[in-house]
Amino acid sequence: MTRGRREPRSTWTRSLLKGSTNELSTRQQQRGGQMTTRQLYNENAFLARVNFAEKCFRNHQTHTRAMDTCFEMYDGAAVVVALVRRARLDHALYVAIASDWSDRFPAEWLDLETKYSHIPTERLSNLARELRATAKERDSAQLSLLAPA
């Protein structure tokens, strides 16, 4: 245990807070950090989307279609929560995110992290899965209302 801060409990927590060591991210690093659109749209690539979004913030390359996709896979809230938790541990990331938002860390992001603060970091992928499932059910219900009788 370190002063004032607990060490992350699990390998998953460490990977989520510090960057992934999963297979998808390893392949991404081998290609020089490039991620294909197909990978971003992979529902099971939550952690890869978090890592990609972090990289975009750090490199000040946030105005791209690929960056937008990181937040548009119905699990954007979970991506935001993961980024906020990483930024709290990494001042450089905090500053990089704030610089993209008129030099202020987005208050809405902090509010979202507070909303999901009861969910441990290692369970954020479960939150992402639940958010995607809920959104798909909602979309299916809306589409069924549009179908001809």
Q: How far is CA 27 from the centre of its chain?
A: 18
Mean pLDDT in residue range 102-125:
95
Q: Give the three-class secondary structure for 59.
A: coil
Q: Give the three-class secondary structure for 2.
A: strand
Q: Using alpha carbons only, what angle is made at residue 5 by residues 91 and 29, rounded to the nearest 5 degrees?
A: 50
pLDDT level of residue 19 (50, 70, 90 thresholds): low
Rg, Å, the chain Cα set: 16
Mean pLDDT in residue range 7-11:
52
Task: Give the model confidence (pLDDT) of 72-98 as tens digits.
Answer: 999 999 999 999 999 999 999 999 999
How far is Cα 74 from Cα 52, in angstroms, rounded to an integer?
A: 16
Residues 6+ apart with CB under 8 A from 60: 96, 99, 100
- pTM here is 0.75
Q: Is the pLDDT of residue 22 over 60?
A: no
Any idea where the domains of the chain sit in the sequence?
11-146
Task: Give the model confidence (pLDDT) of 37-73 as tens digits.
Answer: 778 888 889 999 999 999 999 999 999 999 999 999 9
Task: Judge contact between 51 and 19, C-beta under 8 A.
Answer: yes
Q: Is the pLDDT of residue 32 over 50?
A: no
| 144 phi, psi to nearest 5 deg | -65, -25
